[in-house]
Amino acid sequence: MDRRNFLKVVAASATVMAVSPSMIRGNLYAADGMLFKAYEKVQLVDAAGNPIKASALAKEVTYIFNYPHASTPCMLINLPNPTSKDIELTSEGGEKYVWKSGVGKERSVVAYVAICTHQMTHPTPNDSFISYVPTTKKTMAYDKSGVIVCSSHLSAFDAGAGAKVLGGAATQPLNSVVLEHAADDTLWAVGILGSDKFQDYFKSFRPELKEFYGGPAEAKKLVSISAKTVKLTEYSKEIIQY
């Protein structure tokens, strides 16, 4: 293969990587400001194992699924309006990255890691202090609703713009779950966008991991094939929202 053809192959490969993040493994620091870590491509399913359809998601309801680890909860939300596009975000360490947009026919379906970047408040089977606040409700954390709020210290995140910080003690956005929306309207998680906080989470909640998952080893297992997705009201016994 001569140099010209080799460069064509490299360029074509780079294009595929840019549009198909599920094909990438490891961390990606791209020239356009992307910080991305790929995990196994996993289909979102309901409690009975049926594929979740993006158009069937209730508007402004917080759904929970665990990804990429067995113990790391993520929130799935079908927002009332299309999201913003190509939002530049900054991690706590100063890394720049780009959140592309929501998915689905209306570009309104988003997913974020439901672990607050301030002190890692997250949903558990007992309770949840972090959730989406519908536009019909009010929150003490921000002057507008339709945002994600961590009620532990009233951090607010913009659900329609990559979960960037709007107010409160948090110093960086929630991590985003990169979703793929298939032609049959199914949803697939393929990776995480933003700086990795999972190891800090595992260290901070060892007793909890033992209580709910049998121990750190089980809690750290990577999810494969499918991720059960349920409403937050079914995942946690009590929802605390201010």
Domain assignment of residue 11, yes or no: no
Domain assignment of residue 10, yes or no: no
Residue 219 has pLDDT above 50, yes or no: yes
Confidence of residue 33 (pLDDT cuts 50, 70, 90): low
* Contact of 118 with 132, CB cutoff 8 Å: no
Parallel, antiparallel, or unpaired for β 87-90 and 230-231?
unpaired
Q: How far is CA 204 from the centre of its chain?
A: 20
Domain assignment of residue 4, yes or no: no
* Contact of 175 with 195, CB cutoff 8 Å: yes
- What is residue 142's DSSP assignment? -
Q: How far is CA 37 from the centre of its chain?
A: 12
Number of domains in the chain: 1
Domain assignment of residue 15, yes or no: no
Domain assignment of residue 79, yes or no: yes
CA–CA dist 138, 212 (Å, integer): 32
Domain assignment of residue 7, yes or no: no
pTM of the predicted protein model: 0.87
Domain assignment of residue 3, yes or no: no
Domain assignment of residue 6, yes or no: no
61-90 pLDDT, tens per residue?
999 999 999 999 999 999 999 999 999 999
Question: What is the CATH number for 31?
Answer: 2.102.10.10
Q: Which residue has the tokens 């990587």?
A: 17
161-199 pLDDT, tens per residue?
999 999 999 999 999 999 999 999 999 999 999 988 899
Residue numbers of the domain that contains 72:
22-239
Give residue 34's pLDDT.
58
What are the E-state strand segments in the chain? 26-29, 35-45, 63-66, 73-78, 87-90, 96-99, 109-113, 127-128, 130-133, 147-150, 155-158, 164-167, 176-181, 187-193, 226-228, 230-231, 238-239
